[in-house]
């Protein structure tokens, strides 16, 4: 049993991490970082980093999500952004018998092909602009990890909170999307899909 002083220190520790998450969103930390109450740990595939992601209350609305520092899909171009998120899920959640996190690395070529198939027409010059804008917004809100230089994408740490019902719905959605072409990667599977400087150093302050 912890002493009163240890309990106070623990509450202060949790409050500090929650303040950081509410300010910056999900945080990438060292795997040795102790657990934080209310934050789910999402380990990167290579084990070098763990993300701390707020555990979503069941049925949380927009106000609650904003308060937790995890707003829903960015409101700018919401339809296109949601469409691109669905495509990334289809491209990166290759083993749909298991959890969506961490998924596989997908490519911009795959996303463009599925996007054109969803629209039922040949790719247009404006499509790439819409896709890149959506990928950047989803990366900024931690739904995906977008490596623009390599033109590769992964699912982001926020998907760790998708429950069984969410994943069942997404499996059904993926069945209705065009199949992506095979991924041709410029990175190896155990390389991170975003630059190393994306890892937030503020957690050590």
Q: With both helix axes pointing from N to C terminus, report the angle between 108-119 and 78-92 in degrees, rounded to the nearest 10.
A: 120
SS3 content of the chain, % helix, strand, coil (to 5): 45, 10, 45
Confidence at residue 73, expressed as pLDDT on a 0 to 100 scale = 54
8-12, 92-96, 168-172, range with the lowest pLDDT:
8-12
Instruction: Check: CB of residue 83 under 8 Å from CB of residue 136.
Output: no
Question: Whole-angstrom Cα distance, residue 205 to residue 188?
Answer: 32
**Kind and range of the H or E element at 107?**
strand 106-107
pTM value is 0.76
Q: What is the DSSP pairing of strand 152-155 with strand 106-107? A: antiparallel
Q: What is the DSSP pairing of strand 50-54 with strand 39-43? A: antiparallel
Q: Which tokens in the block code for residue 3?
A: 């002493």
106-107 β-sheet, strand order: 106-107, 152-155, 144-147
Q: Residue 63, Cβ neighbours under 10 Å: how many?
A: 8
Residue 41, phi then psi, degrees to nearest 5:
-100, 125
Confidence at residue 70, expressed as pLDDT on a 0 to 100 scale = 52
56 pLDDT tier (thresholds 50, 70, 90): low
Confidence at residue 13, expressed as pLDDT on a 0 to 100 scale = 84
pLDDT digits (tens, 9 = 90+) for 175-204: 999 999 999 988 665 544 444 344 333 334
Q: Which tokens in the block code for residue 2?
A: 């912890």
Integer CA distances (angstroms), 112 to 63, 76, 180, 186, in order: 33, 20, 9, 17
Residue 27, phi then psi, degrees to nearest 5:
-115, 135
**Percentage of the chain lying above the pLDDT 90 cut:** 47
Integer CA distances (angstroms), 101 to 98, 110, 178, 190, in order: 9, 19, 21, 14
Q: Which tokens in the block code for residue 27?
A: 């945080």
Q: With both helix axes pointing from N to C terminus, report the angle between 164-175 and 78-92 in degrees, rounded to the nearest 10.
A: 90
pLDDT digits (tens, 9 = 90+) for 28-47: 999 999 988 889 999 998 88
Residue 43, phi then psi, degrees to nearest 5:
-80, 135
């Amino acid at each position: 049993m912890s002493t009163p002083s240890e309990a106070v220190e623990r509450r202060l520790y949790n409050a500090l991490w929650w303040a950081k998450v509410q300010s910056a969103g999900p945080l990438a930390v060292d795997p040795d970082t102790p657990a934080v109450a209310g934050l789910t740990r999402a380990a990167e595939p290579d084990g070098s980093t763990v993300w701390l992601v707020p555990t979503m209350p069941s049925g949380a609305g927009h106000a609650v999500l904003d308060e937790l520092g995890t707003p829903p899909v960015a409101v700018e171009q919401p339809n296109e952004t949601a469409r691109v998120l669905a495509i990334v899920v289809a491209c990166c959640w290759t083993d749909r018998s298991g959890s969506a996190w961490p998924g596989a690395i997908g490519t911009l070529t795959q996303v463009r092909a599925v996007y054109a198939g969803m629209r039922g027409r040949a790719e247009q010059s404006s499509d790439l602009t819409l896709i890149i804008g959506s990928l950047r917004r989803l990366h900024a809100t931690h739904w995906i990890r977008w490596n623009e230089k390599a033109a590769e994408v992964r699912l982001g740490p926020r998907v760790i909170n998708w429950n069984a019902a969410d994943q069942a719905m997404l499996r059904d959605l993926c069945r209705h999307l065009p199949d992506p072409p095979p991924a041709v990667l410029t990175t190896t599977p155990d390389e991170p899909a975003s630059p190393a400087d994306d890892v937030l150093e503020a957690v050590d302050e």
